Structure 1
Amino acid sequence: MTPAAAGANQTGLIVTGRRKWVLLGSLFTNFFILLALYCGVISVLLPNHVAALDPANKANNLAIVMTTALLFTIFAQPIAGALSDRCRSGWGRRSPWIVGGALIGGLAIYGISLMTTLAGIAVFWLMAAVSLNCMNGPLATVVADRFLPENRGIASGFVGAGSTAGGTVGIIVAGYLAYNLQLGYLVFGLAIAACCIAFVLINRESSSKNVVIEPFAWGAFFKSFWVSPRKHPDFAWAFFGRFAMFLGYQGVVTYQLYILQDYIGLSVDESNYAIGTISVITLVTLLFSGLISGVLSDKFQRRKIFVFMSSIIMAGGLLIPLLMPTLVGMYLYAAVLGLGYGAYTSIDMALMTQVLPGGGKQAGKDMGILTIATVLPQSFSPILSALLLSQFHNDYSSLFIAAIIFVFASSFFILPIKSVR
């Protein structure tokens, strides 16, 4: 048992029996709603909102909105995670951050709907992104806090399945609500606030008021965010593997609506409908691969081979629209990408919890650092995609080629990891 797991067990955080299954279902639901919000807003609501303001410059303007939050969101999760490690309250360490981030983030999401300028949209998206990242970090740390290492495969599977299924359903729902953007933003804002409040009420965290912590020092606090790749190479390999994968994946998914319009040749209405169909296809395949991979990973106590193979499958899926630039090609791409992405996300978190320095003593902070590898590509990929489209005369095939390169490369970053099989 890791030091973190041993400490968690002593304070009654480790869940077993019925409590374990309740927590698994709650994690599935929360990550389902969170990713539904992210994907629905980023892939459908914001692109439609931004395009309505200035159709001719929609790609560049979307990149501006997405990257405005970059400098803030990349640090939000590790800082929130580190502060949650030190949080002392009757509701525990993570719960106050989960509820507070969700409430502020939900209000900010609705605030976007009231904006009629690009600057206004960017400001409220910044508020939402920072708040939701402050919630997401402590929420993800629950896997390291409350599950023994040998059970983290299935826990990661539930989180991964919830995340990928939520992202898919979020795009479907947002596509149907695209005719009324204000309603769309309201639905997602209310959903994230409600599910996070329910999460902390159903899965009560033990009080942390009496937990002994080291005296706070600003120098030591900021120094702790540097994790030496030389001392902790497995942590570094995991970070760069996740970074490369999400950089490739997000570069295509963020512009999926525009791909359907400008690469496949669909109208605005047709593309909003098609993106929903694509999401349904992805949902079916990712749910199957996500849950099955989590169970098999725990059964064989193997993580690396599942992450490696899922990255290869994703790269194969991204190749299909290059060979078949048709709606059928996009449907096949969705099916194969779902298989790979579902398996990847179901095992990736389990692997991450097992490469944390010090056995996870500062799990909130270290998991937050690893989430930079997810957040940074989400913010940076629109810039890269806009540059590629500008360089290659709005040819969206360049996005697929870049995505294949990054996703394929990500699979090989996992192989040098030695502490996890």
Structure 2
Amino acid sequence: MKNNDPSPGSTDVSPAAAHFVNDTKASAQAGSEPPLGRVSGGYIFWLMLASFGASIAMMVPLSYGIALRISELAPGHEEVLGFITGTAQAVFLVISPLVGMWSDRTRSRWGRRTPFIFLGTAIGLAGLVLMGLAPNLLVVGAGWVLGMSGWSISGAAIQNIQADKLPEQQRGKVSALTGLMTQIAPVLGIGVAYAVSSNTMLVFVVPGAIGAVLLALFPVLKPEGSSRDLGQGSKVTARSVFGSYGFNIRKYPDFAWNWLGRFVFFIGLYFNTTFGTFFYAQRLALPVKEVAGVVATIGMLGVVAAAGGALLGGFLSDKLQRRRLFVVIAAFLFVAGAIAEATAWSLPQLILGAVFMQLAIAVFATVDQAIIFAIIPERSETGRYMAIVAFAQKIPSAVAPLLASVVITIGALGDTKNYTLLYLLGASLALIGGLIILLKVKGVR
């Protein structure tokens, strides 16, 4: 059997790897299945490119494109950004568990996840085109509901494939490499957007086209394999649909505590990233349209930090057989970066803060994803549980921008929004989230 299409039956799980997960109910359930075989370097390479594609297509509009459209259609109303992004996230929150259940139960010659890569890509591209053509903010918002939902479906399919395929001893490393791609993609994407910023449509379409090609190539070159022999699975009933939105927290305490810690951390993260374009414009006294170059420059420096954070967090957590320690280190690094940004009125200090925050986000995302793969309660329902995990990120991405829109008006003087308060609140929440995972998740070291 080729390594690029791993399946149960391999026995190359080391004794050291087994110590990652204690004898909890969740790990016992996962351990009852045959260990997964290692995946090849070529498989990991194309998995990385697919992750890059999903990230560049979604993050360029989120970090620059929507702000650009607001500045064109409703100058001076930057608070609208929070409502547009929050609404789109709320819509996807409703549908994501249903998509997860549908994915788990899909039986086709192409597998369970591949159809959703293509479905999400088609929806995402349609949304980006609509945003580029939008004559008003209402249509921009509708376009982003489609765009964010589509690219999130594709990205979730890629993550589900990782949960399905990766053995324990490769989870940290591969999470590091794919996480690195999701950090690099927005930065390079902003550079692409800046290069075509004279044409608003291209700002949306070019990153989307890049993402679509890379997402499509992964299942074509590294096929998932047929899922027809997996059986039909449980029937979808009204009870199972409603049940898909939650889980038994008493039965799976590690999964529950990790979910809560992740939720709190991401509220802090979105407090400090949603208004990035407007924040830099204010602190550097630049028009919004000219901020793309600054964001790209700062982001490129942050890529170095993100690369180091993802690789060190992933590889070291595998080698040292420790996950939670790196989560709390990430939280403290985030606090340092947030404080630097909150008090910055110069480009060097903004760069310093951004570098620390990129480093922190990369470490947290890498290591916590490895934790999640280890404590998924039921492997046959991976798609559903990964959708529940996504709640811990999607709910903050829906709620935090709305709350942040209010926070920046507290004590604001005219057009000068209170980003200092926003960034300090974000730092506090990120630290609390990291401490919850460190102190409460017992089934993973």
After TM superposition, the score normalised by the length of structure 2 is: 0.88
> Could you list the per-position Cα deviations for residues 353-394 of structure 1 after superposition, in whole angstroms to 9, with x for gaps in the alignment?
112113x33111101110111122222222111101122312
- Which residue does 1:418 correspond to in 2? 442
Kept in 2: contact 1:76–1:133 (CA 8 A): no
Tell me the equivalent position of 1:178: 197
Give the Å deviation of 1:270.
4.3
SS of the aligned residue for 1:98 comes to: helix
Distance 1:183 1:260, change over 3 A: same
1-side partners of 2:288 and 2:243: how far apart? 49
Correspondences of 1:62-101 after superposition (within 5 Å): 62-101=81-120
The equivalent of 1:399 in structure 2 is: 422
Tell me, in whole angstroms, the C-alpha distance in 2 between the residues paired with 1:40 and 1:227. 33
Q: What CA distance in whole angstroms lies between the structure 1 residues aligned with 2:30 and 2:118?
A: 23
Does residue 362 of structure 2 align to residue 342 of structure 1?
A: yes
Does residue 255 in structure 1 map to residue 278 in structure 2?
no
* Structure 1 residue aligned with 2:125: 106
- Flag as ranges the 4+ runs of structure 1 deviating above 3 A: 1-9, 267-270
> CA–CA distance in 2 between the matches of 1:338 and 1:89?
39
State the partner residue of 1:357.
Answer: 377
Work out the CA distance in 2 between the residues paired with 1:304 and 1:375. 22
User: Pairwise mapping of residues 233-312 of structure 1 onto structure 2 (< 5 A)?
Assistant: 233-312=253-332
Matched length: 413
Q: Which residue of 2 aligns with 1:38?
A: 58
- The aligned residue for residue 177 of structure 2 is 158
Q: Could you say which residue in structure 2 is the equivalent of 1:137? A: 156
Q: Counterpart of 1:128 in structure 2: which amino acid? A: G
Cα distance per residue 1:71-123 (max 9 Å; x no partner):
32113332212211111000011111111111221222122101111111111
Q: Could you tell me the percent identity over the aligned residues?
A: 24
- Report the Cα offset of residue 310 of structure 1: 0.9
CA RMSD of aligned residues (A): 1.9
1:164 Cα offset (Å): 1.2
Q: Could you tell me how far 1:303 is from its partner in structure 2?
A: 0.9
Q: Secondary structure, in 3 states, of the residue corresponding to 1:392?
A: coil
| Alpha-carbon shift at residue 400 of structure 1 (Å) | 0.9
Q: Secondary structure at the match of 1:178?
A: coil
- CA distance in 2 between counterparts of 1:321 and 1:130 reads 31
Q: Which moved more, 1:289-298 or 1:175-184?
A: 175-184
User: Is 1:119 matched with 2:138?
Assistant: yes
Question: Is the 1:50–1:61 contact (alpha carbons within 8 Å) kept by the matching residues of 2?
Answer: yes
Q: Does residue 373 in structure 1 map to residue 392 in structure 2?
A: yes
1:196-254 Cα distance to aligned partner (Å, 9 max, x none)? 11011112112111221233333134324321222211111111211122211122222
Q: Which amino acid aligns with 2:347?
A: L
How far is the alpha carbon of 1:6 from its aligned partner? 7.0
Q: Is the 8 A contact 1:80 1:138 kept in 2?
A: no
What letter corresponds to residue 419 of structure 1 in structure 2?
G
Task: Please give the alpha-carbon distance, in whole angstroms, between the structure 1 residues aligned to 2:411 and 2:373.
Answer: 40
Asked if 2 retains the 8 angstrom alpha-carbon contact of 1:168 and 1:279, the reply is yes
Quick check: 1:110–1:186 contact (8 Å CA) kept in 2? yes
Deviation at 1:15, TM superposition (A): 5.0
Any stretches of 5+ residues in structure 2 without a counterpart? 1-12, 14-26
| Mapped contact 1:164–1:345 kept (Cα < 8 A) | no
Query: Per the alignment, in what secondary structure is the counterpart of residue 69 of structure 1?
Result: helix
CA contact under 8 A between 1:112 and 1:185: conserved in structure 2? yes
Cα distance in 2 between the residues matched to 1:152 and 1:318: 29
Unaligned 5+ segments in structure 1 are: none
Alignment TM-score, normalising by the size of structure 1: 0.93
| Structure 1, 238-247 or 312-321: larger mean CA deviation | 238-247
Q: Comparing both structures, which one devotes a greater share of its residues to helix?
A: 1
Shift of 1:395: 1.7
Paired residue for 1:229, among 216, 230, 249?
249
Aligned residue number for residue 205 of structure 1: 224
Partner of 1:191: 210
- For residues 60 and 5 of structure 1, what CA distance do their matches in structure 2 show? 48
Residues 58 and 148 in structure 2, CA contact (< 8 A), matched pair in contact too = no
Between the aligned partners of 1:324 and 1:68, the Cα distance in structure 2 is 30
Whole-angstrom CA distance in 2 between matches of 1:127 and 1:269: 25
> Residues 333, 176 of structure 1: CA spacing in aligned structure 2 closer, same or farther, 3 A cutoff?
farther
The CA deviation at 1:130 is 1.7
CA distance in 1, matches of 2:202, 2:87: 24
2-structure distance, mates of 1:269, 1:124: 21
